[in-house]
Structures are given as C-alpha cells and as structure tokens.
C-alpha cells in the first residue's frame, strides 16, 4: 500500500508579510527611544534575544524589542535594521566579497532604524503611539516570500 502525500511544497502558497518601516527624526539610543514609547503607551517593550543572521564570514546580531498589546493580545516586535554587533567567523581571503562587518536587513532601506512586525496577519500599527518629533510616520512595506528577511521573520515567529 502506498503512502499518500499530505501536501506538496510546490502547491503551498506563501502569503506576504506586512511590516512597518520606522525612521527616526533624531539620532537617539535604543533605550531612550523605547523608554519614550513605553511612557506613551500601555505597552511594555523589552529587549529580547537578538535576531542572528549567519553570513559566510560574520555572524550579525540585530537587537529585538517585543511587547504584547493588553486588549488585542497582539505581539509587536521592533527589529533593528542595522546590526549592532558582528563576530568574524573566518578571515576574508577574496578581494571583492559582498560581506562587511555591518549588515542591514533591508539593504535598499538603510535610512530605516527599525522594522516593526506584528503577530496579526493584517497588522494595525496605529495602536502604537510613537513619540512626537522623534519618529516619522510608519511606512507600510510588504515582504514577499522570496525575500531573505521574510524567511528570517518566519523563523523567529
């Protein structure tokens, strides 16, 4: 008797992820930024285990901050777009490698400080009151399943 396949990976359609891009108007440290967010919201963002990206020559660490909305039970996560730390795994022997000691999760958005992600399929980032004069309006952004950041966010969910 043959065993039937329950599903075929080629037939599965991956849904896009909606994220928010957060740009700061002033250069302030992360602890001060989240202190101000926690003051103006009923949320309590705290630092969680860093998101780790393993490159060929470096391991990159991206700070992650998480909070749960009390009423909607939604988890909001801020992930730093720029690595805060990198650990060299091996010495680069090639001249033109694309890997440096600093990495951005969104290479085409280097002016973005944080990537905001929600546990909801259709997130509403307007429930987070951002400090005035510190942050530009959150820009909606859609990640498709073929992007590297999509895979990283799925892994850490």
Give 44-63 pLDDT, tens digit per residue: 999 999 999 988 888 999 99
Residues of the chain with pLDDT > 90, as a percent, come to 39
DSSP secondary structure string for all residues of 97-131: -S--S--BSSTT-TT--EEEEESSSS--GGGSPPP
134 vs 86: CA distance, rounded Å: 27
Domain containing 50 equals: 17-155
Q: Identify the weakest region by mean pLDDT among 12-16, 39-43, 145-149, 150-154.
A: 12-16
Determine, yes or no, domain membership for 45.
yes
Determine, yes or no, domain membership for 69.
yes
Residue 120: Cβ within 10 Å count: 15
Determine, yes or no, domain membership for 67.
yes
Q: How many domains does the chain have?
A: 1
Determine, yes or no, domain membership for 7.
no
Return the closest-CA partner of residue 19 out of 135, 131, 129, 109: 109
Any idea of the CA torsion for 130, 133, 135, 139, to the nearest 10 degrees?
90
CB-based burial label for 59 (10 Å; 0-12, 13-18, 19+) = middle
Determine, yes or no, domain membership for 8.
no
Determine, yes or no, domain membership for 4.
no
Determine, yes or no, domain membership for 60.
yes
Give 103-139 pLDDT, tens digit per residue: 999 988 899 999 999 888 777 888 788 888 899 999 9
Determine, yes or no, domain membership for 9.
no
Three-state DSSP at 37 gives helix
Task: State the pLDDT at residue 7.
Answer: 39
């Amino acid at each position: 008797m043959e065993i039937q396949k329950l599903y075929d990976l080629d037939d599965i359609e991956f849904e896009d992820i909606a994220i928010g891009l957060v740009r700061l108007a002033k250069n302030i440290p992360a602890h001060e930024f989240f202190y101000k967010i926690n003051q103006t919201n009923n949320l309590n963002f705290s630092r969680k285990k860093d998101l780790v990206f393993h490159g060929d020559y470096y391991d990159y660490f991206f700070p992650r901050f998480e909070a749960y909305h009390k009423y909607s039970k939604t988890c909001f996560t801020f992930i730093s777009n720029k690595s805060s730390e990198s650990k060299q795994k091996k010495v680069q022997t090639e001249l033109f490698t694309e890997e440096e000691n600093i990495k951005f999760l969104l290479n085409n958005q280097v002016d973005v400080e944080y990537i905001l992600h929600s546990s909801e399929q259709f997130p509403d980032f307007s429930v987070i009151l951002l400090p005035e004069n510190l942050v530009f309006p959150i820009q909606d952004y859609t990640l498709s399943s073929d992007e590297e950041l999509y895979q990283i966010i799925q892994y850490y969910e």
